[in-house]
Amino acid sequence: MTSQEPQAGPGNAFAALMPRVIAAAARLRHCVRRRNRPDRHLAFHRLMEACGTGMCPICRLVADGVERRLAHLFHELVNDPDARRSLRAALGFCRRHATDALRVGTPLGLAIIYEDVATHALSRLRAVVAGRHADRRRICPACIGESEDEVAYTEGLAECLGEPDMRLVYTRGSGLCIRHLDGVVRRTAPAVRRFLVDQEAGRLSDLIADLKELMRKSDYRYAGETVGQERDAPARAIAKVIGDEVGGMGGRRGGGRSVLL
């Protein structure tokens, strides 16, 4: 009895295509992310600068990385076959990074990418109507790059805080958000961990005091008192817990679980 060759069909064609899609995604990640990933020396200086910006330094640097990669995509990779294939497989960007792309990208670049994405979405719908399996949506390429940057800068700061210069700069800034503090604390030496806990305990105590003062002045008995720095304490508390929103870019993550935990 002779074996029969497998017949070509939608399922076999999809299976044959998937390795190419996965390989394309890997190449896009290499082109769009790894070429922008800083070495240790550059990471140290970026962290030093970010600690003085008045916001969580990791939020700041992760947002900067998103903007750099999107700018590179729209200037260099809009017509790159691998980039297009990866974005097509992900059905474009996630909601948050699509908003960023609208700000950073060009109308022509967005039109090229999303004409391709919309055409692919139409093909998937037709496949479902015809009773065929629609390919699984891949992860937003910008999300993957952002998560890798988050881990890299978290590990970098945990190491760099062993340097006296970095600790000095850190004391002068606003510190880490709670999300990123959790990740850095878990990666530091005991002495650095104690330094971080002392620093952030002081910042949180000051923030709690401002929140309580705002609540006190909201009481009708103290309504005549002038509201001072406590006015924006709720916004500062939210930023401290979930991360800073940086210029509309990806620093804040709508309350999701940290990739670092």
For residue 258, is it within any domain? Answer: no
For residue 113, is it within any domain? Answer: yes
Average pLDDT over residues 14-30: 49
Domain count, the chain: 1
Average pLDDT of the residues of the chain: 80
For residue 112, which amino acid is it?
Answer: I
Question: Residue 20: pLDDT band by 50, 70, 90 thresholds?
Answer: low
- The string of pLDDT tens digits covering residues 87-135 is 988 999 999 999 999 999 999 999 999 999 999 899 888 877 777 776 7
Alpha carbons 63 and 56: distance in angstroms, whole number: 11
Per-residue buried b or exposed e for 132-141, using 16+ beta carbons within 10 Å of the residue's own CB: eeebeebebb
Q: Is the pTM of this model over 0.75?
A: no
The pLDDT score that the predictor gives to residue 37 is 52
For residue 89, is it within any domain? Answer: yes
Could you list the residue range(s) of the whole structural domain that residue 211 is in?
12-242
For residue 136, is it within any domain? Answer: yes
Average pLDDT over residues 228-244: 88
For residue 91, is it within any domain? Answer: yes
Q: Hey, what are 194's tokens? A: 């104690």
- The string of pLDDT tens digits covering residues 42-72 is 878 889 899 888 889 999 999 999 999 999 9
The pLDDT score that the predictor gives to residue 247 is 45
Tell me whether residue 154 is exposed, middle or buried, using C-beta atoms within 10 angstroms of its C-beta: 0 to 12, 13 to 18, 19 or more: buried
Residue 260 has pLDDT above 60, yes or no: no
The pLDDT score that the predictor gives to residue 185 is 93
For residue 199, is it within any domain? Answer: yes
Alpha carbons 184 and 188: distance in angstroms, whole number: 6
For residue 46, which amino acid is it?
Answer: R
Q: Hey, what are 90's tokens? A: 């992900």
For residue 34, is it within any domain? Answer: yes
Closest CA to 252 of 126, 93, 146, 145: 146
For residue 250, is it within any domain? Answer: no
Residue 35 has pLDDT above 80, yes or no: no
Lowest mean pLDDT among 20-24, 54-58, 73-77, 200-204: 20-24
Question: Residue 198: pLDDT band by 50, 70, 90 thresholds?
Answer: very high
